[in-house]
Amino acid sequence: MNPLRIFVDWTAPADALEMLRQGTAAHELLFPRSPAPSVLAGGMRDPQVAEADVAFGQPDPRALAQADRLKWVHISSSGITRYDTPDFPTN
């Protein structure tokens, strides 16, 4: 299996991020250059999303809609309101 490139836009405690790193050791994690301070603030557009196979956390919906390489998006909040737009299909 080829390693996945996983964009992680998720603000978490250091121990949780370390568990993520350990659990995905066979893959490459991409972290945003300007992480959002909270899930309510929304993510900023980061060019690394276009290079990712998986996006996790609260990535910018506009960046996701333009990322042709993505195979999976996992939102870290219970709601997807900002992602439920005509430009970003949620099915």
Count other C-beta atoms under 10 Å from residue 5's C-beta. Answer: 18
Q: pLDDT tens digits, residue range 45-55?
A: 788 999 999 99
What are the Cα distances from residue 36, in Å, to 25, 78, 86, 89, 90? 24, 17, 24, 23, 22
Q: Which two tokens stand for residue 44?
A: 């900023």
Sequence-ordered list of residues with C-beta below 8 angstroms from that of 50, at least 6 positions apart, any chain: 63, 66, 67, 68, 69
- pLDDT number for residue 3: 95
Count other C-beta atoms under 10 Å from residue 9's C-beta. Answer: 26
Q: pLDDT tens digits, residue range 39-90?
A: 566 556 788 999 999 999 888 888 888 899 999 998 887 777 777 777 766 5
- pLDDT number for residue 12: 82
- pLDDT number for residue 1: 74
pTM of the model: 0.81
Q: pLDDT tens digits, residue range 15-28?
A: 999 999 999 999 99
